[in-house]
Chains A and B, each alone.
Chain A
């Protein structure tokens, strides 16, 4: 199983998917049809890219009649933020311990 962090990285590494995600984040909910128009990419390809973004937790879909609507899920980026935040907290705490050790050491 792929980690959530890698899934996010991998899905956004593709320029078409990145453009789709950016557009949804900017414009709100859009149909597959609207996302396909003017994109220069076929509708099946757009649907496939949206599927990858959905698996990574970056978009959510809502079927309505014959159309499927998609919206961005910015909190899907959380694994990335948490991951770095975890290391940041780790190093700050270790700096505290380094200072405490230096105060204990002989000059």
Chain B
């Protein structure tokens, strides 16, 4: 992944001592998803629309509108993640993004990779500016994104 792409997406990756099929269930059964992520009405089918119920903020009702864009058990899952309001700053700001899960078997477990992309994709130029110029700013951004890549 290029530096620029890294700045526009959040990646968390961990090896978990469980088989892919079991992790897949936790990612795709509504009742299980609720236990670790959020209340939802997930439908395990390509093209299905569903929602997550997040904490409301300002003008935003907290509903994240999703659509399954990849469904390939037990290795790949992706959904569009849209929500927020123009009147919010950090939490609850407008976001039109994609969450993508990749499960890769490894000896003794499964590598779980989550990439949440689309931060500022609508304004690519701003990120190009940031990776182009000023060491101090870029350094701060790198610090912010380094915290996102997991252990």
Q: Which residues of A approach B to under 8 Å, CB–CB?
A: 1-6, 8-10, 12-15, 18, 21-22, 25-26, 74, 77, 79-89, 91-92, 94-95, 97-102, 105, 107
Chain B residue numbers with a CB within 8 Å of A99 are: 14, 16
Q: Please name 20 pairs of A and B residues whose Cβ atoms are closer than 8 Å in the assembled complex, sorted by A.
A: A2-B86, A3-B87, A3-B89, A3-B93, A4-B89, A5-B93, A12-B123, A12-B129, A14-B125, A15-B125, A25-B134, A80-B126, A83-B119, A84-B145, A86-B91, A88-B144, A91-B12, A92-B150, A94-B36, A102-B18
What count of chain B residues pass the 8 Å CB interface test? Answer: 45
Residues of B within 8 A of A79 (CB): 89-90
B94 in contact with A3 (CB, 8 Å): yes
Secondary structure class of chain A's binding surface, majority of residues = helix
Cβ of A22: which chain B residues have Cβ within 8 Å of it? Answer: 129, 132-134
> In whole angstroms, how far apart are the Cα atoms of A74 and B28 in the complex?
42
**A39→B100 CA distance, assembly (Å):** 43
The reply to whether B10 and A84 form a contact with Cβ atoms under 8 Å apart is yes
Q: A3-B88, A84-B10 are in contact. Are A101 and B32 (CB under 8 A)?
A: yes
List residues of chain A with CB within 8 A of the CB of B114.
91, 95
